[in-house]
Amino acid sequence: MTALRDSAEQLTALVDYARPETDVPRLVERAADLLSQRTALLEELVVAEPQLRELAPDGTPAAREKRSELRHTVLRLRVRLAELSVEEAYLLTELESEAYWAGERQALAHTVAA
């Protein structure tokens, strides 16, 4: 489990107490999407990084071009992973905040009902 998935599940469990303006399904869907993107990027990176390390320069134009392509692929994947990390941090903050307020609303509802 990840913090993002855990927070999405926590908010889902409190959906009945979420603030009216909170779009819980959208937040949960966004969390699943980010996790899916991260998994796909990591799978690509696991393939590309070893290929780049193993491709020795031999001075030929073909090898130079292949190394350049792989290097750009690895860099692109790493940059996108960094961007996803920022998006995940913002979403995690939002999920945790909404879960906190839903928990407060749940506690208040049980206190008033008692």
Encode pLDDT of 33-92 as tens digits. 999 999 999 999 999 999 999 988 888 999 899 999 999 999 999 999 999 999 999 999
The Cα–Cα gap between 22 and 19 comes to 5
pLDDT at site 42: 97
Domain boundaries, the chain: 3-113
Task: State yes or no: pLDDT of 11 exceeds 70.
Answer: yes
8 Å CB contact between 37 and 91:
no
The Cα–Cα gap between 66 and 55 comes to 8
